[in-house]
Amino acid sequence: MGLAGILQHVLQAVELRKTQRNFLAVILGIFLAVPGRLNALNLSRYASCSDRTIRRWLHRDDEGAVPWWSLQMAAVTTAMQSGLISPLCILAIDASFHRKSGKKTANLGSFWNGCATRVERGIEHSCCALIEVQHRQIFPIHARQTRTDPQAPGRMEQITDQLEEVLLNLRAHPQIELAAIVADGDYANISVVETVTGHGFPLVSKLPRNANLKSLYAGEHVKRRGRKKTFDGKVDFHDLRRFELVCETPTQRLLTQVVWGCHWKREQRVVVIQQLNPTGTVTGYAVLFSTAVTMPAHEVVALYQSRFEIELVFRDEKQFLGSQDVQVRSQQGIEAHWNMVMLALNLARLEALQTAGGGQGLVFSLEDMKRRAYNALLAQVILSNLGLEARFEELGSLPSRPLDFGLKAA
């Protein structure tokens, strides 16, 4: 089908106005092929519309605004209906720091920049993404900017509001089998736990080493007056004799136990991953947890490791799709730019899945896809100027493979 065919199929799956359809077909049709900065001005040099038109569409918040959520979900459901990914997914949430110059941009503030390992001034992108469990194919579906204005709620309250909105909207897509919500240790908060479990899903995340946990009492109760004994001391991660050994390798040991979380007032499955040196001495450890106490330890570890795919989304968006090139100031415009970037990434992944026939063994290289898209755009321009546009389809079957010129994985 190709990228153009996939784009048309996704646009037809959503109820759009003619103006919306034309704008998305023009912008997304050349988005991957544009070299340099992916802002409104540079996009207008390759698209048949002005930079003012692009900015106007990004700022729209009326009934004619682009329904980004419906488009993102159309890309996901297209992949499922085509059999390219399985319906079993997890929902990952994470935030990414974006540099932003200027003084008038909405919600400028001081945020943690993981690349620089320090707090810097800029804006923050909070993203929710669906990750297919079988082959770890990821589709970002929701973007929101962290607010910093005086009337804004706290950061964790904004996160729970975003999760609430996404989980409610996912109910309209019963074909998606959501296994769990996965997040890093920053989201191990009581408000996040209550929001996720309130929707009937388990939360898989990471605990700090000083987490206040108590062991559950499993012995015989003494015959005496009063309440039966419930707890059996505080959990000490340096003394895990009460934990069950799941498996052990020369470099790693996995232990698990169901404990009581004092702060959350609920039972939870805790998994301790110990790192071992050649002599068998513990050199470090990490503590994962799941609110589903019946979840096996191996599944907790596998689901948490799948969360790392969202970091690759942030990398691709920043390095190749210009998520930091936004040249608008309002929150509406910034979030629309991020959604446009996410939709372009989802369409590119759909094309890669279709070419590979599924997610098994897929090596997703967005840099190569951008190079090939640019080669195709340049070839179309040259052939059209020569009156040979009808022969463009022949380029894909030539032994010299001109469209693959400059590809690293060619």
Residue 389, token pair as written in the block: 């546009």
Q: How far apart are CA 72 and CA 338, in angstroms?
A: 12
Query: What pLDDT, on a 0 to 100 scale, did the predictor assign at position 409?
Result: 60
Check: CB of residue 94 under 8 Å from CB of residue 183.
yes
Domain locations along the chain: 2-183+307-364, 207-295, 369-404
- Percent share of the chain, pLDDT over 70: 99
User: Per mean pLDDT, which range of 13-17, 253-257, 390-394 is the poorest?
Assistant: 390-394
Check: CB of residue 92 under 8 Å from CB of residue 309.
yes
Residue 170, token pair as written in the block: 């996912």
Check: CB of residue 272 under 8 Å from CB of residue 287.
yes
Token look-up 């991020």 returns 338
pLDDT over 80 at 194, yes or no: yes
Check: CB of residue 269 under 8 Å from CB of residue 300.
yes
Name 376's Cβ contacts closer than 8 Å, sequence gap at least 6: 33, 395, 403
Angle at 109 between CA 337 and CA 52, to 5 degrees: 30
Alpha helical stretches, state H, 171-280: 190-198
- Strand (E) or helix (H) holding 214: strand 213-216
Residue 243, token pair as written in the block: 């934990």
Angle at 138 between CA 132 and CA 143, to 5 degrees: 125
State pLDDT tens for residues 247-292: 999 999 999 999 999 888 899 999 999 999 998 899 999 999 999 9
State pLDDT tens for residues 85-103: 999 999 999 999 998 877 8
Q: How far apart are CA 287 and CA 270, in angstroms?
A: 7
- Strand (E) or helix (H) holding 6: helix 2-12
> Phi/psi class of residue 94: alpha, beta or left (left: φ > 0; alpha: ψ in -120 to 50)?
beta
Residue 345, token pair as written in the block: 């990434």
Query: What pLDDT, on a 0 to 100 scale, did the predictor assign at position 114?
Result: 87
pLDDT category at 404 given cuts 50, 70, 90 is confident
Q: How far apart are CA 121 and CA 111, in angstroms?
A: 6
Query: What pLDDT, on a 0 to 100 scale, did the predictor assign at position 317?
Result: 93
Name 215's Cβ contacts closer than 8 Å, sequence gap at least 6: 231, 232, 233, 234, 235, 242, 257, 259, 260
pLDDT over 90 at 359, yes or no: no
Alpha helical stretches, state H, 171-276: 190-198
- The torsion angles phi and psi of 196, rounded to 5 degrees, stand at -70, -50
Q: Considering only residues 387 and 296, tell me which one the structure prediction assigns the higher pLDDT.
A: 296
What is the DSSP track for 47-107?
SSS-HHHHHHHHH--STTS--HHHHHHHHHHHHHHTTSS-SEEEEEEEEEEE---SSSSTT
CA distances from 159 to 34, 114, 138, 175, 200 (A): 33, 19, 20, 25, 18
Task: Provide the pairing of β-strand 203-207 with 213-216.
Answer: unpaired
Average pLDDT of the residues of the chain: 90
Angle at 274 between CA 114 and CA 90, to 5 degrees: 55
Q: How far apart are CA 140 and CA 310, in angstroms?
A: 8
Q: How far apart are CA 85 and CA 70, in angstroms?
A: 19
State pLDDT tens for residues 120-153: 999 999 999 999 999 999 999 999 999 998 898 9
Residue 74, token pair as written in the block: 């159309």
Check: CB of residue 345 under 8 Å from CB of residue 38.
no
What is the DSSP track for 353-385?
HHHHTSSTT----HHHHHHHHHHHHHHHHHHHH
- Strand (E) or helix (H) holding 119: strand 118-132
pTM of the model: 0.91
